Every structure is written in structure tokens, then in C-alpha cells.
Structure 1
Amino acid sequence: MTRTSVPASRVQVYLTDQKLFAALNREARAARVPLSQAAGQAISRGLLRNPRADPEDRMQNLERSLRDHMRSTARDMQIVQELLIEVARAFFLRLPDVIADQDPTVQAAIDIRIERLLDATAARIVAGTRDRQIDPGKDSA
């Protein structure tokens, strides 16, 4: 079977932007094609409005996305923390103080229950589950 080749057109381009030249070289190395073919592919992608970013651009986009996600997560955690404080404030406002609250045995029992609650929560987070599973052998908090 004979292969008919399309005649190649020649275009000479001068790149003054070193970052663009480096990106084009990376793309040529990644695709294992000559620099001229990589340039032609990049031009055709640009003309088709379907650009595929070079690896460095993708990394910068990922870093930017991660930074934005970290900011929004920090903001969300601050909101959750403030809500938790308001819930605790409302809880303590409506809960009467009792003499038994000062008893060291009661305090120790409360501390143990809080530790169990925190351990169970941490275990669920690590396991990636949301279900509230209570071990029958432990106090439910």
C-alpha cells in the first residue's frame, strides 16, 4: 500500500518569549515529535479553540485550585467553629449548674466520654464513613 503525503507548507516563526519557547520544547519532548511538528500541533489546537495546556500550566492551575480550595476550607472551618461555640453557649445557658459538676469522679467520667467521642469521630473520619456506629460496649455520648 502506498502512502500519499500531503505537501508541507513552510512557515518561519521567531519566538521572543522564552517561556513560550520552553513550553513548546517540553511539548515536543513529551510527544516525542520534532519541534516544528509540536509548533504545528499547538497552532492547530489554538485555531480549533481546544488548547491543551502544557504540563507546567497544568501544575500552576492545580496549585491555584488547591490554594483556592484551602482558602474556602479554612473559611468553612471558621464558620463551623463559630457555630459550634454558639451551640455550646446555648447548651450551657439552658443547662443548670449542679454541685455534682464539681465532683472529680464526675469530671473524670465526662472526660472519658469526651475522649471516646473524639476517638470515634476520628476513626470515622479516617475510615471515610459518615454513619454513626455506636459500639455497644461503650457509653454513647
Structure 2
Amino acid sequence: MARTSSSTCRVQVYLNDPKVVTGLNREARAGRMPLSQAAGRMIARGLQHNPRADPEDRLETLERSLRDHMRATARDMQIVQELLVEVARAFFLRLPDAVMDEDPTVQAAVERRIDQLLDATAARIVAGRKPKAPVERGGGKAEGSGADE
């Protein structure tokens, strides 16, 4: 190590770790400074024990956060699916079977209504809107409820 003045010193360093070299080059490009100045800044931050996150580190942190979020979302969706199955099971346990349930016209009408419900839900999700409160039709009777038939 050779001293060139009271405030600067000259150091020759050999770097073997490609990640360190890549980070150093990235720091120099980002700061638009010579490699030696970038190395000095990185050493100073390291000595302060408060280094700013390297862009690569920030990207890894974001990827880790996204992966954790995806896992949590998958778990939540599994819970929602299981709850939906339990609600359907409870609904069908209390709903008596009817001869009309086997009618192909009734089955087609039910399938059509389910498709409409799914399409409307998907459109609301895409538009970012909240669902509207259900509107009663025909004097308080749901359309196609079988009360008129």
C-alpha cells in the first residue's frame, strides 16, 4: 500500500469472485464513475455496516417475496376451494332431490345460468369492480326458482 497524500491511499486488489466483479462493474456503471471509485464506495459502505442494497440483491428479494406471495395465495385458494365444497355439501344435504332435476331442459338452463354467473364474475375481476348486491326479480322471487312452474 502506497500513500499518495494524507487523504488518499493506493491499494491493489485482486478479485476472484465473479459476483463481486459483476457487482463492482454494475456499481461503476450505475454511478458513472471509474471502477476504482466504485470499489472505494463499496468498501466504504461495507465498513459502515449499512450498505445500500445491490440491484441484484433487490431483485432476489423481490423474487423471494413474489415466491412467498404465490405460495400464500395458492394456500389461500386451496382453503377457499375446500370451503366452497363444504358449502355445496351442506346445501345439497338440505336440498331435496326433485324429478325436475333430471329434466335436460332444466339442466341446460342451470348450466346457462352458471356460465352467465362465471362470465359476469370474470368481467368484474378484469374490470376491477366489486360485485353488486343481488337484485330480486318478479316480486321477491328469484327468476327460474320454480315457484311459478
**TM-score, length of structure 2 as denominator length:** 0.77
Give the equivalent residue in structure 2 for 1:64.
Answer: 64
Counterpart in the other structure of 1:3: none
How many residue pairs get aligned? The number is 135
What is the identity, as a one-letter code, of the residue corresponding to 2:43? Answer: I
Shift of 1:133: 6.0
Which range moves more in the overlay, 94-103 or 15-24?
Answer: 15-24
Counterpart-to-counterpart distance in 1, 2:135 and 2:46: 59
Superposition pairs of residues 1-141 of structure 1, within 5 angstroms: 7-132=7-132
1:30 to partner: Cα distance: 1.6
Q: Which ranges of structure 1 fall in alignment gaps of 5 or more residues?
A: 1-5
Q: CA deviation at 1:34?
A: 1.0
CA shift, 1:65, in A, is: 1.7
TM-score, normalization: structure 1? Answer: 0.81
Larger Rg: 2
* Structure 2: gaps (5+ residues): 1-5, 138-142, 145-149
RMSD of aligned residue pairs (Cα, Å): 2.6
Report 1 or 2 for greater relative contact order, CA contacts < 8 Å, sequence distance ≥ 6. 1
Distance 1:105 1:18 in 2: 69
Q: Percent identity?
A: 69
Letter in 1 for 2:113: R
